[in-house]
Amino acid sequence: MNIAPRDPDDRDPSPDDDVSAHRHGSFFGRRKGHKLRSHQADLIAQLLPRLALDITAPSPDGLARLFGPDVDHVRLEIGFGGGEHLVAEALAFPTTGFIGCEPYVNGMAKILTQIEAHGIGNIRLFAGDAADLVAWAPALSLARIDLIHPDPWPKRRHWKRRFVQDLTVAAMARVLEPDGEFRFVCDIDGYVAWTLAHLLRSPDFAWLAERADDWRQPWPGYTMTRYGRKAEREGRRAAYLRFRKVA
């Protein structure tokens, strides 16, 4: 299998890396990666604390409370990389709240730049482990969860690091609304098969594909990420999987 590593700016960090986290108003970025520009560093110091979730506090009655009164649904994107998809979705759906989870400091700096440039008010950020965030979130509080081009962790001994596991599938089912969706995009066949196996054996999810194009083609309105374009240039075709939570 042809497995290309993700670019450093897109890569989900290993548990062995110096992973970024937001604790008590401070941002601890992974030391590896490109040096931040001065303005990016200012955004990390000044804008991020206003948008960052503190999961050491009790979770609210509903995640919509984290946003303004116009927000009626909340979605989560796990590992947003450069933020292309998340920003496009937030601009397209102003009455939906978006939570972006990304432990990599350069990715966080990039999305903060876009949030500032576009004046986006319906994004909140979490710079830590998505599993911890999902565990903190109230039940039935998310309309959708997106996992787009995650690190495939191709070596067998690293498979336990993949986000999709039986326990996380059950955790997603807890926080998704009835008929909520989990959407997964990946250009690595092994991880696609892994995800299908885990979701199909879950009693909480139904795969929405009825024909081949339902997983071979992006869903309407999908914003291609930088990594997705790179995969296409290198001849790797992504699968676009949608799973509905069974009410």
Q: Kindly write down the DSSP assignment for every residue of 147-187, as one continuous string.
A: EES-----SGGGGGGSS--HHHHHHHHHHEEEEEEEEEEES
Owner of token pair 């991020």:
48
Fold designation for 21-245: Rossmann fold (3.40.50)
Decide if pLDDT at 3 tops 80: no
The per-residue pLDDT for 30 is: 47
CA–CA separation, 89 and 100 (whole Å)? 11
Decide if pLDDT at 1 tops 80: no
CA–CA separation, 31 and 49 (whole Å)? 19
The per-residue pLDDT for 37 is: 87
Decide if pLDDT at 4 tops 50: no
The per-residue pLDDT for 33 is: 61
Does residue 151 carry a catalytic annotation? yes
Q: Which of 3-12, 32-41, 74-83, 230-239 has the lowest mean pLDDT?
A: 3-12
**Torsion angle of the four alpha carbons 30, 35, 40, 45, in this order, in degrees rounded to the nearest 10:** 50
Candidate list 10, 129, 151, 187, residue with the active-site label: 151
Coil, helix or strand at residue 244: strand
CA–CA separation, 220 and 169 (whole Å)? 25
The per-residue pLDDT for 13 is: 38
Domain assignments of the chain as residue spans, ordered by start: 21-245
Q: Tell me the β-bridge partners of 181.
A: 144, 244
The per-residue pLDDT for 125 is: 98
pLDDT digits (tens, 9 = 90+) for 111-148: 999 999 999 999 999 999 999 999 999 999 999 999 99
In the predicted model, what is the mean pLDDT of the chain? 88
Tokens of 243: 């799973």
